Amino acid sequence: MINSRFFNRSELLGFLALAVLLFLILPLSLDIFRLNLVAKYLTYAFVGIGLVLCWGYG
């Protein structure tokens, strides 16, 4: 199972709620234009996190 050192119960529930929102609710409720915007912003977020990790701040 998941090591309790990384996730406690409330963090795991928050992560699961975010995953359900991203993978189930958003694709079913948004039109294709808004869904493409969400995908673009998520891509920029991943690039930003990657840059921060490369520069050593993470």
Q: Is residue 23 part of a domain?
A: yes
User: Rounded mean pLDDT of the chain?
Assistant: 87
Please tell me the predicted confidence (pLDDT) of residue 3: 59
Q: pTM here?
A: 0.62
pLDDT for 27 beyond 90 = no
- How confident is the model over 34-48, as a mean pLDDT? 94
Q: SS in 3 state form for the chain?
A: CCCCCCCCHHHHHHHHHHHHHHHHHHHHHCCHHHHHHHHHHHHHHHHHHHHHHHHCCC
In this predicted structure, the answer to whether residue 37 has a pLDDT above a threshold of 60 is yes
Domain that holds residue 26: 9-55
Domain annotation covers residue 2 = no
Number of independent structural domains in the chain: 1
**Mean pLDDT of all residues in 24-28:** 87
